[in-house]
């Protein structure tokens, strides 16, 4: 196995347990990145030649190597893939009674570049690195041995695949269902297998949705950036008086309303399930101008800060959307504010809440702080893997 040599003093982060090597950390005189084919395995060494671990190389990416072992000369072969996937599976089986969860969470399961969501007998996969792409058939063999899934869907529509020089066209195996009925928190959610957001469903918010539902009794609920209705449907099933879904996708809103009707038929019969399609910033302003108010609001926007250079405008967007949401709350109302941007820290999101409440001359009383569920494990040496934040606050 060839060596990927680091410059002097660039090994500290790797020694501390981090799994990423950046291209500017590599001594390209000793080990030119151009000598590697995307997906090649290499032994990562410090400037003296001491092995630090084994990685798969992506020579054209800023993250040019991702470690899969702390030992040198270790191939990412089928036995290692099987062992890691089996370990990931056993953890989920300890956490959940039924196979509806994130089965593999990339670096959190020591399989960088691989995400797998389990929907009963169906699996949806996202592969984001050349190393994992070149081992796709090995991954399939491991999954067949462990789970014998009836269908697989590779959701390849990822911007990161372009950076890795990989095609973005999706592929599948087996007969794909048009939709899946996902059980969660006592509700059933119809989600799309293809064409949805991410892998079709956001398992990471499972426990935050459960907490949100505790405040739903007799509440008028607004679910902002609702997708197929995760927060709003849980609230509807928990006794909300009305639920309004807001999203930019009319198809997602149709699914959200149908999911709410399935789980709270009395609300549907009363005409208390509605939807609003369009730009959230514009619609929230319009609702305020019209005098609409809600006692329970979920705000779960897409990542406004995808890269470090986006921080300033992204932070302004988080502040603005939280201000717009808070203005729509009745006195003493409850807001669940989430962020999936790694570059926005929990402290920064809490600051957005505090400043947004102050902007309306109110106070934010934090009553819950949550993150991603345990089927999205955080690598202790990689803060990048702890991306989801959720605060629930009473505004008064």
Q: Report angle CA 222, 227, 230 to the nearest 5 degrees.
A: 65
Please return the burial class of 269, using the count of CB atoms within 10 Å of its CB with bins 0-12, 13-18 and 19+: exposed
Residue 313 neighbours by CB under 8 Å, 6+ apart: 304
SS percent in the chain: helix, strand, coil, step 5: 35, 30, 35
* Angle (deg, nearest 10), helices 250-263 and 230-237: 20
Provide the β-strand partners of residue 172.
153
Q: Is 64 annotated as catalytic?
A: no
Q: What is the DSSP string of 234-276?
A: HHHHTT-SEEEEEES-HHHHHHHHHHHHHH-HHHHHTT-EEEE
Q: How far is 184 from 18, CA to CA, in rounded Å?
A: 33
Please identify which of the residues 45, 104, 187, 340 carries the catalytic annotation. Answer: 340
Catalytic residues: 340
């Amino acid at each position: 196995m060839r060596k990927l040599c680091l410059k002097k003093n660039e090994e500290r982060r790797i020694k501390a347990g981090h799994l990423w090597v950046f291209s500017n950390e590599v001594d390209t005189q000793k080990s030119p990145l151009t000598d590697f084919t995307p997906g090649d395995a290499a032994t990562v060494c410090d400037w003296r030649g001491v092995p630090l671990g084994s990685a798969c190389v992506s020579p054209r990416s800023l993250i040019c190597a991702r470690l899969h072992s702390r030992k040198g000369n270790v191939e990412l072969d089928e036995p290692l893939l099987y062992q890691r996937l089996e370990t990931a599976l056993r953890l989920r089986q300890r956490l959940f009674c039924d196979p509806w969860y994130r089965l593999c969470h990339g670096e959190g399961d020591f399989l960088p570049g691989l995400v797998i969501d389990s929907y009963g007998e169906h699996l949806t996969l996202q592969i984001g690195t050349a190393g994992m792409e070149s081992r796709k058939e090995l991954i399939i063999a491991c999954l067949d041995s462990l789970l014998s899934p009836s269908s697989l869907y590779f959701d390849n529509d990822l911007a990161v695949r372009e950076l890795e020089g990989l095609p973005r066209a999706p592929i599948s195996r087996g007969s794909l269902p048009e939709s899946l009925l996902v059980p969660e928190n006592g509700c059933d959610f119809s989600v799309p297998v293809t064409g949805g957001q991410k892998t079709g469903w956001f398992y990471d918010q499972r426990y935050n949705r459960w907490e949100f539902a505790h405040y739903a009794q007799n509440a008028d609920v607004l679910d902002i950036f609702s997708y197929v209705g995760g927060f709003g449907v849980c609230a509807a099933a928990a006794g909300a008086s009305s639920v309004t879904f807001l999203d930019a996708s009319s198809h997602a809103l149709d699914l959200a309303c149908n999911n709410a009707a399935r789980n709270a038929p009395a609300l549907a019969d009363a005409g208390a399930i509605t939807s609003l399609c369009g730009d959230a910033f514009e619609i929230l302003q319009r609702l305020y101008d019209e005098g609409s108010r809600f006692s329970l609001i979920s705000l779960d926007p897409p990542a406004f800060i995808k890269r470090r250079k986006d921080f300033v405008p992204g932070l302004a967007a988080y502040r603005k959307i939280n201000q717009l949401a808070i203005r729509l709350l009745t006195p003493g109302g409850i807001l669940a504010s989430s962020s999936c941007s790694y570059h926005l820290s929990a402290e920064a999101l809490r600051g957005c809440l505090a400043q947004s409440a102050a902007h309306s001359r109110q106070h934010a009383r934090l009553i819950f702080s949550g993150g991603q569920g345990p089927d999205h494990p955080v690598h202790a040496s990689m803060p990048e893997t702890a991306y989801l934040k959720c605060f629930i606050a009473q505004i008064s």
